[in-house]
């Protein structure tokens, strides 16, 4: 027997009432969900949403406000002010640094330290943060070409996190939530060329992007939809974690991040190194063509800054290595061959962590040693980079004086 008109009306009322009651309950309980800070992008796969703001709580609760150009930074005009030394920093989540206030990120601290040291001949120093979570060296090179040159920087720093960035440069090893949405470079003969197959992904088609952006705006005001979005993201993350574990097992390691502590043995990891080094040369050439200086900053990995020497030694035994510096040393040797200045943060950060017996990453006992840099980590990193840049500036000044 088909439902009566009254029964249909009652069912409709219930369907409308339940979401409204849920919304009312969430608001009365003052439940806040993590903000949607990213949006799809046909050139980069994804990017930070300009002007987005809200709470993030993956590692520690933090209110985040992105600038009008879509970066975790203060506002910067495209036109560089007079008498200003502008430094652009490219990187992934370690540089994006949503876990700390914007004024505590190593980019912001670096700006203050360089200004205080005065090693740029009295010029005002601006440090611009172009970090985006999940970005590979490929996406950082594309960001350089698409975004960074609009700001006319004098120096470009590539913050390279070896434990992620090298593997993420090949599709087979990429541990992004959705590796198919990432751009890649591949070798065709001796030429390194862009593989833009990611642009065919349905989520990156213009109509889908428009719908997603409308959805983000609606979600911003409706907490029930925010709750649904959070559940969807958690589901995607679980799938991604399982996929990363599977890729690690196929590569013969327990954790893909550990693959950088010894010479590569698998074809995929060998290709990841080859492509990474090709990308670094391409970035160097692009920076020099724009009349700027290029530096690679090798970020210390989590195991390298464990305060407890015994725990670090235990991991090295497990991995079958005498130290944790294979990737750092290889990048420095590569830099010497290719005339690229390399700043290695691991020695300074490791020494500080051991001497002070503090964790530089993580925010509580629940995630010490497992998360991103805390405020101490950003402070020590910024101080190390500032010192190296000032030493290099002084060295160049001496060389110029000797040539006169």
Note the pLDDT of residue 320: 93
Q: Which of 6-10, 33-37, 192-196, 206-210 has the lowest mean pLDDT?
A: 6-10
Q: Are β-strands 293-298 and 341-344 bridged in parallel, bridged antiparallel, or unpaired?
A: parallel
Using CA atoms, how far residue 138 sits from 43, 105, 226, 256, 399, in Å, is 11, 23, 31, 19, 34
Q: Average pLDDT, stretch 218-231?
A: 57
Asked if residue 61 belongs to a domain, the reply is: no
Among 197, 217, 378, which residue's Cα sits nearest to residue 297? Answer: 378
* Residues paired with 343 in a beta bridge: 297
Q: Can you read off the two tokens belonging to residue 132?
A: 């985006």
Asked if residue 58 belongs to a domain, the reply is: no
For CA atoms 87, 281, 186, 177, the dihedral sign is negative
Q: Average pLDDT, stretch 346-366?
A: 94
User: Please, which pLDDT band fits residue 393 given cuts at 50, 70 and 90?
Assistant: confident
174-194 in b/e form (b: 16+ CB < 10 A) is bbbbbbebbbbbeeeeeebee
Q: Quote the pTM value.
A: 0.88
Asked if residue 224 belongs to a domain, the reply is: no
Q: Is the pLDDT of residue 93 over 70?
A: yes
Asked if residue 2 belongs to a domain, the reply is: no
Report pLDDT digits (tens) over 28-63.
655 565 778 999 999 999 999 999 999 888 899 999
Note the pLDDT of residue 370: 87
User: Please, which pLDDT band fits residue 179 given cuts at 50, 70 and 90?
Assistant: confident
Higher pLDDT, 356 or 228: 356
% of the chain exceeding 70 in pLDDT: 79
Q: Across 174-183, 251-260, 391-400, which has the greatest mean pLDDT?
A: 174-183
Cβ neighbours of residue 279 under 8 Å, at least 6 residues apart?
137, 138, 141, 169, 185, 192
Note the pLDDT of residue 157: 98
Residue the block writes with tokens 């294979």: 326
Average pLDDT, the chain: 86
Asked if residue 138 belongs to a domain, the reply is: yes
* Residues paired with 87 in a beta bridge: 127, 155
Residue 87 sits in a domain whose CATH number is: 3.40.50.1110
- Total count of domains within the chain: 1
Note the pLDDT of residue 394: 83
Q: Is the pLDDT of residue 235 over 70?
A: no
User: Please, which pLDDT band fits residue 203 given cuts at 50, 70 and 90?
Assistant: confident
Q: CA-CA distance, 245 to 255, in Å (whole number)?
A: 7
Note the pLDDT of residue 28: 61
Asked if residue 319 belongs to a domain, the reply is: yes
Asked if residue 317 belongs to a domain, the reply is: yes
Decide if 76 contacts 69 (C-beta within 8 A): yes
Asked if residue 404 belongs to a domain, the reply is: no
Higher pLDDT, 397 or 100: 100
Q: Is the pLDDT of residue 23 over 70?
A: no
Q: Average pLDDT, stretch 381-402?
A: 81
Report pLDDT digits (tens) over 242-299.
555 555 555 555 577 899 999 999 999 999 999 999 999 999 999 999 999 999 999 9
Q: Is the pLDDT of residue 1 over 70?
A: no
Q: Is the pLDDT of residue 376 over 70?
A: yes
Q: Which domain holds residue 112?
A: 83-202+255-398
Note the pLDDT of residue 26: 47
Q: Is the pLDDT of residue 142 over 80?
A: yes
Note the pLDDT of residue 256: 75
């Amino acid at each position: 027997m088909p439902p009566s008109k009254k029964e249909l009306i009652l069912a409709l009322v219930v369907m409308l009432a339940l979401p409204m009651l849920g919304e009312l309950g969430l608001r009365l309980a003052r439940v806040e969900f993590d903000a949607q800070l990213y949006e799809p992008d046909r050139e980069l796969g994804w990017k930070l949403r300009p002007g987005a703001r809200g709470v993030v709580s993956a590692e520690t609760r933090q209110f985040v406000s992105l600038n009008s150009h879509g970066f975790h930074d203060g506002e910067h005009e495209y036109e560089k002010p007079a008498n200003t030394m502008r430094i652009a920093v490219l990187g992934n989540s370690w540089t994006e640094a949503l876990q700390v206030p914007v004024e505590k990120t190593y980019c912001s601290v670096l700006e203050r330290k360089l200004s205080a040291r005065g090693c740029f001949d009295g010029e005002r120093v601006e440090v611009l943060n172009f970090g985006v979570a999940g970005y590979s060296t490929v996406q950082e090179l594309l960001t350089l070409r698409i975004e960074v040159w609009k700001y006319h920087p004098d120096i470009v720093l590539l913050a390279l996190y070896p434990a992620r960035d090298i593997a993420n440069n090949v599709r087979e090893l990429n541990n992004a939530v959705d590796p198919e949405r990432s751009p890649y470079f591949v070798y065709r003969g001796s030429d390194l060329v862009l593989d833009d197959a990611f642009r065919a992904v349905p989520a990156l088609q213009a109509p889908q992007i428009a719908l997603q952006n409308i959805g983000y705006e609606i979600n911003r005001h409706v907490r029930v939809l925010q709750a649904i979005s959070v559940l969807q993201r958690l589901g995607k993350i679980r799938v991604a974690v399982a996929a990363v574990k599977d890729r690690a097992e196929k590569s013969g390691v327990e954790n893909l991040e550990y693959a950088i502590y010894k010479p590569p043995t698998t074809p995929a990891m060998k290709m990841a190194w080859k492509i990474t080094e090709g990308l670094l040369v391409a970035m160097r050439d692009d920076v020099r063509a724009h009349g700027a200086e290029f530096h690679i900053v090798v970020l210390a990995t989590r195991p390298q800054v464990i305060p407890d020497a015994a725990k670090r030694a235990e991991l090295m035994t497990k991995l079958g290595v005498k130290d944790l510096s294979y990737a750092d040393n290889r990048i420095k040797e590569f830099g010497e061959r290719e005339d690229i200045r390399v700043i290695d943060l691991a020695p300074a950060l490791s020494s500080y962590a051991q001497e002070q017996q503090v964790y530089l990453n993580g925010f509580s006992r629940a995630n010490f040693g497992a998360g991103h840099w805390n405020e101490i980590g950003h402070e020590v990193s910024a101080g190390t980079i500032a010192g190296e840049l000032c030493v290099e500036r002084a060295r160049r000044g001496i060389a110029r004086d000797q040539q006169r």
